[in-house]
Amino acid sequence: MISLRSLKVVTVRVFLIAGALLLISKVPSLAQHRENCDPAYPNVCIPSPPPDLDCGDIEYRRFQVLEPDPHRFDGDKDGIGCERG
Backbone angles phi, psi at 4, to 5 degrees: -60, -35
Phi-psi region of 40 (alpha: psi -120 to 50; beta: other; left: phi over 0): alpha
Of 35 and 67, the one with the shorter C-beta distance to Ca ion is: 67
The reply to whether 67 sits near Ca ion by the rule CB under 5 A is no
Exactly one of 35, 76, 84, 85 binds Ca ion (CB under 5 A); which one? 76
Query: Taking contact as CB under 5 A, which single stretch among the options 7-15, 26-34, 40-48, 68-76 is the one that binds Ca ion?
Result: 68-76
- Which residues make Cβ contacts (< 8 Å) with residue 36, sequence separation at least 6? 45, 47, 48
Separation CA 74–CA 63 (nearest Å): 9
Q: How far is the CB of 47 from Ca ion (least distance, A)?
A: 20
The reply to whether 74 sits near Ca ion by the rule CB under 5 A is yes
Of 35 and 76, the one with the shorter C-beta distance to Ca ion is: 76
